[in-house]
Structure 1
Amino acid sequence: MADFMQYAPFGAYYRFPRSGRPTEYPPMEQLETDYLVVGAGASGMAFADALIEHSDADVIMVDRRHRPGGHWHDAYPFVRLHQPAAAYGVSSTMLGAHRIDESGVNAGMYELSSAAEICSYYADVMNRVLLPSGQVRFLAMSEYHQEGPNDHRLVSLLTGEETRIVVHRRVVDATYIEPEIPATRSPRFQVDDDVTVIPPNDLVKVGSKPAGFTVVGAGKTAMDSCTWLLENGVDADSITWVRSRDVWSIDREWTQPLDLVHHRAKFNAAWMQAAAEATSGMDMALRLEKAGVFLRLDQGVPPTAFRGATISRAEVEGLRKIGNVVRLGRVRRVHADGMEFTNGGVSQPRGQVYVDCTATGLRTLEPHSVFEPGRITLQYVTPGFACWSAATLAVVESLLDDDELKEHMSLPVVYTGHVDDLLAFTSAHVTSAQRRSAHPGIRAWSGHTRLNPALGLRERLKDPRVLAALDEAKKWLAPALRNLEERVGPAGCTTGQMPTAAVTN
């Protein structure tokens, strides 16, 4: 009979070997909490911050890193937020100073924080907001695993000591939507020994002039890498850009909050009109491009990918200077004299530095329930805004009692990466946003939280530009919902009605 564990009082445990005679081991530390939040990145921090704002819950947060910040600790040093800092982070604490940039590719728009600023911000939130609340404990450098029902363990990566956590309400998985970034994975193509392939993080470590730079990848990481090279004096003709497919991006000017929030209001109206009139995902993308919301790099190549990245028109103008673009499918092998692809090969001068930007960023995830007995799996329920999504789910968890109703209000917005799914993506977002707006408490919080990308809208309702955009969005909302249901089927509850549990708050 295999060995098994049995817990004894006061944390001591015994292993019963095959002889049947127990052997006593040192006691295991045991902690109790209402919520165990696994992951102290953007999602976990936003969830914990909103949860303690709306409840008296006790929370333990655990992360394998040395301090909060998640993937930002592994990000390339020149990365910046792709959305205004004014609406990123946690609801309780401002990030940045609500400045509008006066120079660079983001000129005229609200500031974008750097990775270093974001990591410092999260450390400050933990040390000055969450821990002093008395409701949050943080266990860094620890790995989480589950042994059985309500048998949750943390293992210190420094000492190997194991701690058992008794969870009274839920385990919160804040790692499910963690992005995949180049620095944490190896290239997915063959690299010969005499070739230099680096993640974008190592661009700042290049010590001598290479024969040229070859950037592999079509997404925002590749765009950032190319922009950084251009800004630092690399001639566009010295850059080769490998793009297996082109990507739709959102013009960042349309996503601005506060004094520029009329742009965000116009964004919502244009999106609703496109959703009301589109016959397919590609048709919707083309309509958004015509409205000015979507941008592409090459007017002769229809993009087939969409992951919600934002970009400025100044960045696009710079990137269009790179004329050596390779579109031969995915890279299979990089060797001293060039590259092999699924659809051919190209020669390259020896001494190239290849920059691997092929990590997917927002990973394609399987549909998963958000609320389950004893568990919450944090996911996007608002498109492109991990912090707003996680905080929204914390408010839903705090203000409602029925899991069926919570799920009804929290349809996951899944990024598949393909533009064909833009209609389904929009349907999930608009449907569950409408459902949440029917709850007074959730609606009030969402309208005032700094994480709402339309931050400042309520204070500017007398602005004629805002009023006109709101009227336009309202006009297209019902037609959009009808068209989306006709094209992709009903989102979530097939009746479009609330479950039997009443909304009372």
Structure 2
Amino acid sequence: METDYLVIGAGAVSLAFVDTLLDEDPDCHITMIDMHAKPGGHWNDAYSFVALHQPSAFYGVNSMGFGDNVVDDHGPNKGLFPLASGTEVSAYFSHLMNRRFLPSGRVSYHPLSEYLGSENGTGTFKSILSGKETSVKIRRKTVDGTFYKTSVPATHKRQYAVAEGTPLAIPGELPDLWMKADDLPGHYVIVGAGKTAMDSGVWLLEAGVDPDNISWIRPRDSWLINRTYTQPGEDFFEAVVQNQIAQLKAAAEAETGDEMFEILGRDGYMLRIDESAKPEMFHYATISEGEVALLRKIKNVIRHGRVTAIEPGKMIFAEAEETVPEDALFIDCTATAVPFTEERQHGPQFRGDMITLQPLHVPLVTLSAAISAFLEANFDDDDTKNALGTPSPLTDTPNTYPLGMLTNFMNRGAWSQNPKIAAWLSKVRLDPTGSTIRKLMAEGSPKLAVMGGFQEAIAVGIPGLQRLAVAARAEHQDR
């Protein structure tokens, strides 16, 4: 076997890279290796009621639209564009593989396969089911699409002890509770503070569980992006730009990242569930004001740090214990979508015969991957490619956020100054504002007036971000 690019992984990032590479380099051949049985990466393992945080309009791959343009008229997401369910995301990626990639004759796909490594221009992988090893000659490069190492409750290793006989479930098992209608839990305990825990809380409440029958172990509170300001299209364009301007002005005004988020929270651009608790975490989770209102109904919030052990009716922490009814069902939501503190191959994306896909515009990971493919196909040397695509660090606290935000703006500035990239980005579906600006400019829309405040915000915001990023870099590297 021979190929031009050997791509490790078939999750959203790898798929977005391959999709753009097919368009930008029409002569290349690509081989994809993945351990799952279907494309989509962690979406294959996610809980059944999982949904995108962001609108479908700028998720997925560039060549194939996703979702519709009908705004939700009910539920906690009312007034905003719908969020694709996990089932819809999985179907989308399967459709992409079966209707675009494979029929092209330029993509070889090997599911249920484990990558064993590359040496002297030859990559080797093994069938998980048969154990058969296969070698493939790599004419150009190996592409590592596994940098994010996304974890979900179904696949992660718990960091706390579970006593025998403790009622315990992962979120994906909650919809099966109807089969135990005669033996339902009298109480529910959500373990974890991230978006999975929030999704589980919303699910329980919408399913009719009394908020008083829910306890929530929340070691840290989180700042959350207000979904209102992440919407696509011209109807939301002014609000999206106002959010960007507000972030820049907050960076100029604040002395720390924490203070920057307080300013943004005061004006509604960032949200938090408990107004009385200082959020120490920011994982780029996006949420609607309707979801926040639901989650505030849960009053039994337990803040003793991370749980170390659970047993029937009891939770044990480093310096405290809490009790709940004996029949309480613990719901494990402690998986971290991205292991922010794990040591990985940080550094430039383009490294000779290896490409390590990393975020160029946090948190838009599929846009980042598409841009990486465009750089690979349209520029000749690694130095040029790396200068046009500096990886944005995946920060996880308010204080470290300015570091990622600054990198985003630096990359955006470089792209806007390069005519080739700028022209391409203006038509890219995955860019939340590019195609909208192009459309509004063609129409001469008065909505573009909101952009008048952007240059002024840049002038004061970038120095502010640079100042905050100095402290952010030290804190981030210590984590």
Where does residue 157 of structure 1 map in the other structure?
128
Gap change, CA 1:59 and 1:193, over 3 Å in 2: same
> Which of 458, 464, 475 pairs up with 1:477?
458
> Which of 27, 37, 51 pairs up with 2:7?
37
Residue 205 (structure 2) pairs with residue 226 (structure 1): no
CA displacement 1:138-197 (0-9 Å, x = unmatched):
111111111533231011122222111111211111111131111102321010002012
The 3-state SS of whatever aligns with 1:424 is helix
- Structure 2 residue ranges without an equivalent (≥5): 474-479
The letter for the 2-side match of 1:187 is R
Where does residue 269 of structure 1 map in the other structure?
245
| Residues 218, 244 of structure 1: 8 Å contact kept | yes
Q: How does 1:15-164 map to 2 (within 5 A)?
A: 31-56=1-26, 57-146=28-117, 148-164=119-135
Identical-residue share of aligned pairs (%): 37
The 3-state SS of whatever aligns with 2:463 is helix
> Which of 210, 215, 218 pairs up with 1:235?
210
**Whole-angstrom CA distance in 2 between matches of 1:136 and 1:429:** 31
CA displacement 1:262-320 (0-9 Å, x = unmatched):
32222222222222332211111112112321001111111010011100000000100
**Whole-angstrom CA distance in 2 between matches of 1:405 and 1:176:** 22
Query: Per-residue deviation at 1:212?
Result: 0.5
The 3-state SS of whatever aligns with 1:416 is coil
The letter for the 2-side match of 1:170 is K
The letter for the 1-side match of 2:113 is S
> Which of 380, 383, 392 pairs up with 2:359?
380
**Whole-angstrom CA distance in 2 between matches of 1:130 and 1:474:** 41
Where does residue 281 of structure 1 map in the other structure?
257
Q: How does 1:334-483 map to 2 (within 5 A)?
A: 334-364=310-340, 365-366=342-343, 367-454=346-433, 455-461=435-441, 462-468=444-450, 470-483=451-464
> Which of 308, 330, 339 pairs up with 2:306?
330
The 3-state SS of whatever aligns with 1:415 is coil
| Residues 275, 284 of structure 1: 8 Å contact kept | yes
Where does residue 164 of structure 2 map in the other structure?
193
| Residues 38, 44 of structure 2: 8 Å contact kept | no
Where does residue 184 of structure 2 map in the other structure?
209
**Whole-angstrom CA distance in 2 between matches of 1:279 and 1:191:** 43
Structure possessing the higher radius of gyration over alpha carbons: 1
Query: Per-residue deviation at 1:456?
Result: 2.1
The letter for the 2-side match of 1:479 is V
The 3-state SS of whatever aligns with 2:223 is strand
| Residues 241, 326 of structure 1: 8 Å contact kept | yes
Between stretches 369-378 and 476-485, larger displacement belongs to 476-485
**Whole-angstrom CA distance in 1 between matches of 2:462 and 2:11:** 34
Runs of 4+ more than 4 Å apart: 489-492
**Whole-angstrom CA distance in 1 between matches of 2:327 and 2:363:** 38
**Whole-angstrom CA distance in 2 between matches of 1:353 and 1:217:** 14
Gap change, CA 1:466 and 1:342, over 3 Å in 2: farther
**Whole-angstrom CA distance in 2 between matches of 1:152 and 1:491:** 39
Between stretches 86-95 and 429-438, larger displacement belongs to 429-438
Gap change, CA 1:213 and 1:59, over 3 Å in 2: same
The letter for the 2-side match of 1:431 is M
| Residues 431, 491 of structure 1: 8 Å contact kept | no
The letter for the 1-side match of 2:469 is V
The 3-state SS of whatever aligns with 2:399 is helix
The 3-state SS of whatever aligns with 1:391 is helix
Where does residue 476 of structure 2 map in the other structure?
none
> Which of 297, 301, 305 pairs up with 2:277?
301
Query: Per-residue deviation at 1:101?
Result: 1.1
**Count of aligned pairs:** 461
| Residues 33, 58 of structure 1: 8 Å contact kept | yes
- Structure 1 residue ranges without an equivalent (≥5): 1-30, 493-505
Between stretches 457-466 and 310-319, larger displacement belongs to 457-466
Residue 155 (structure 2) pairs with residue 184 (structure 1): yes
The 3-state SS of whatever aligns with 1:457 is helix
Where does residue 477 of structure 2 map in the other structure?
none
Between stretches 480-489 and 328-337, larger displacement belongs to 480-489
The letter for the 2-side match of 1:406 is K
Q: TM-score normalized by structure 2?
A: 0.93
Across the aligned residues of Structure 1 and Structure 2, the Cα RMSD in angstroms comes to 1.7
Q: TM-score normalized by structure 1?
A: 0.88
Query: Per-residue deviation at 1:477?
Result: 1.1
Query: Per-residue deviation at 1:453?
Result: 1.7
Between stretches 312-321 and 336-345, larger displacement belongs to 336-345
Between stretches 391-400 and 266-275, larger displacement belongs to 266-275
The 3-state SS of whatever aligns with 1:262 is helix
CA displacement 1:387-426 (0-9 Å, x = unmatched):
1111111111111112112112222222231221011111
Structure with the larger strand share: 1
**Whole-angstrom CA distance in 2 between matches of 1:449 and 1:490:** 34
The letter for the 2-side match of 1:482 is P
| Residues 176, 378 of structure 1: 8 Å contact kept | yes
| Residues 400, 472 of structure 2: 8 Å contact kept | no
